[in-house]
Amino acid sequence: MLQQQAEAHVAENVFERYLQARPIFKGDREVLRPSYIPATLPHREKQIDQLAQILVTALRGARPSNVLIFGKTGTGKTAVVKYLENELRKVDEAGKVTYVYLNCEIVDTPYGVLQSVGNRFVEDAERQIPFTGLSTDRVYSMLLERLDAERRIVIIVLDEIDKIVLKNGDDILYQLTKVNDDLRQSRLSVIGISNDLKFTDNLDPRVRSRLSDEKMVFAPYNAEELRDILAQRAEIAFPAGVVGEGVLPLIGAVAASEHGDARRALDLLRVAAEISERTGGDRITEYHVHRAKDKIEMDTVTEAVKQLPSQSKIVLLAVLINEEKGAAKMTTGEVYSRYRELAVRTGLSPLTQRRVTDLIDELDMLGLVNARVKSYGRGGRTKEIMSSVPAADVRRVLDNDETLVELRRYRPRNQTTIF
DNA sequence: TGTCCACTGGAAGGGAGGGCTT
DNA sequence: AAGCCCTCCCTTCCAGTGGACA
């Protein structure tokens, strides 16, 4: 009997059931990724126009003004800039304009920026600038030489430009904006993209004025605009009738309430579709959107926790364990002593308290804990720390972490809660 | 009003890991 | 091989501080 059932299963391949289900996606689901640049960008026509007017100078062989673009995440800054890159390529038949896009979250050192730009002008591996080893001055002169090798206009896009300034100061921007003084025939301009409006406050006045020849601000999308964007993508991604009525307005409303983030809206739509697909559905409903919202929130947290270096994981665990013991909030000192105890147990040598306060700040930036400086008067001035994520879920991730095996069974002494 | 606590957070610097130059 | 220079992670040192309390 059992045998027969097993055989019956062998006959029907596991994949078949899923293959037979009507696919929800019409074609490439990349259409719903933020990296996809559609043929038109709804509700950004004005910005595209404005930037095009600035950049057209490059096609005439002269240097366009430097531009600073401000706007929150998912307001289409990067999309507009990349869109114009594509458009520019189409008309620049002579290939005299070089467009270099760099994300300063990834390339986050002055050396890295100069190196990446410099490498854009050579194909063969032999002449690539190494990612370390040379002095920055040296890389700068190599870059100059390559820029000036033939007459060209170079447009450098520094996405998340505030990140590199925060980390390294404005030296690199100073160098990039004065590069033109050292060039004989080529010209370079910089497009900076930032989601922090105030980042220019910390710049050297000379750099600030040079960099912001032109300024653009991208306002967040409202719910209706988001709906238009979603409708445009949905039409490419799904066959007619798949997206339930009310789904796009719902996603639009959710994303609009979270500072009009189009990226977030597209993610919601994609994940909702995937959830429906996985559960054998052939339509996307509002139910799937709600499920998608939960899933995305959960995934960002667990992913962030997984990526943490071991020491930071232990710091986070220290916070959670103190909370399990009943502390609603705690001071740096309390986190640190718990952290030391845990670190010793795992066999890692404990870091200094100074370093741990930095790690706590990092966890705060990631939104995993909440840390605010508070004074307790005579009780001293310290941070008040509490976790800001669902403890059980984070605990599960940490318990499955191989570097923390020693702590898997660890529970604090005289604990009050039962797990 | 001044004291004093428990830190905060800036600055400087060490050293490991990477890689070029001579 | 020795000498540089880069970044990253970390330590050491320390002046500065918000606010309850005497």
pLDDT, one tens digit per residue, over A24-70 is 788 777 888 888 999 999 999 999 999 999 999 999 989 999 999 99
- CA A211 from chain centre, in angstroms, equals 24
The answer to whether A132 CB is within 7 Å of strand B is: yes
- Distance (Å) from CA A162 to C1' B8? 24
**Phi and psi, residue A382, nearest 5°:** -155, 180
- What is the phi/psi pair of residue A101, to 5°? -105, 125
| Contact (Cβ atoms closer than 8 angstroms) between residue A46 and residue A216 | no
**What one-character-per-residue DSSP string does A327-351 give?**
-SSEEHHHHHHHHHHHHHHHTPPPP
Q: What angle do CA A259, A264, A265 make, to 5 degrees?
A: 95
Residues of chain A with pLDDT under 70: 1-12, 17-22, 124-126, 202, 412-419
Q: What is the pLDDT of residue A137?
A: 85
**Distance from the Cα of residue A40 to its chain's centroid:** 23
- Measured between alpha carbons, how far is A226 from A270 in angstroms, rounded to an integer? 14
Q: Output phi, psi for A98, to 5 deg.
A: -110, 130
Q: Which of A 302-361 have CB under 7 A of nucleic chain B?
A: 331-334, 336, 353-354, 357, 361
Tell me the pLDDT tens digit for each residue of A348-383.
899 999 999 999 999 999 999 999 999 999 999 999
Q: Which residue is nearest to nucleotide B5 (CA to C1')?
A: A380
Q: Gap from A133 CA to B16 C1', in Å?
A: 15
